[in-house]
Structure 1
């Protein structure tokens, strides 16, 4: 099984960040956001799940359609985040200060997400090259 270990995909990193932000919000408000946590975890599992191997390969258009479906699911997260921001100024401050990290991925189309993933991969390789002393 050598060679199978890979860095987590950017979507997995995003959901890790969202979970961390939710923990911070919960600790600041002393309120457990059970429904929001469950939805973030469910979306994270859906996005990061490895598709079953099949003899039929998806073409680029089918992949784009699947990514658009996931984007539609993420719209619900955007709605919940917006309502949480409206309800609590601390949540608004925390989420606003980190929006440049998570918002582009949530609102991206399949083409934008593909470009984002490619640029993040390039950035990671650049950073590893600079810090490999």
Structure 2
């Protein structure tokens, strides 16, 4: 459950950053918004029972699909950074929040979500 919470927080952060970029540039990033929302839905949806019985080939195909989606988002972010110094500044200034989640391996991610759960219980 804590992992889902971290995913939700990451996508809330991405949406918030996109809102800031849109307000700074006075343009709506419709395509990027829809891709972030679609990726968020994909990451947070609960797999069906049949999906849990995937073999290695099917798992590899699903990972390829997700990788392609992430490549699209990466390309859009890279082009936004290259074309607008304010976007670069905004992403650089918040990297300490989103980079650990994106670059973490499974074990690090579990530790990250466990520490979030501990923080919530302490509040």
Judge same fold: TM > 0.5, yes or no.
yes
Secondary structure of residue in 1 paired with 2:47: coil
With the length of structure 1 as denominator, give the TM-score of the two structures: 0.73
Identify which range, 18-27 or 99-108, moves more after superposition: 99-108
SS in 2 for 1:9: helix
Count of residue pairs brought into register by the alignment: 121
**Does the alignment pair 1:127 with 2:123?**
no
2:10/2:98 contact within 8 Å kept = yes
- Cα deviation for residue 41 of structure 1 reads 1.0
The corresponding residue for 1:15 is 11
State the structure with bigger RCO (CA 8 A, min sep 6), 1 or 2: 2
Residues 93 and 57 from structure 1, CA distance in 2 versus in 1: closer, same or farther, beyond 3 angstroms? Answer: same
State the alpha-carbon separation in 2 of the partners of residues 126 and 105 from structure 1: 17
1:39-58 equivalences in 2 (<5 Å): 39-54=35-50, 57-58=53-54
**Which structure has more helix as a fraction of its residues?**
2
Q: CA deviation at 1:48?
A: 1.2
> What is the distance in 2 between the residues matched to 1:49 and 1:121?
18
Structure 1 residues 100 and 25, CA, compared in 2 at 3 Å: closer, same or farther?
same
The residue that corresponds to 1:31 in the other structure is 27
Normalising to structure 2: TM-score of the pair? 0.78
**Structure 1, unpaired ranges of 5+:** 1-5
Task: State the 1:129 CA deviation.
Answer: 3.5
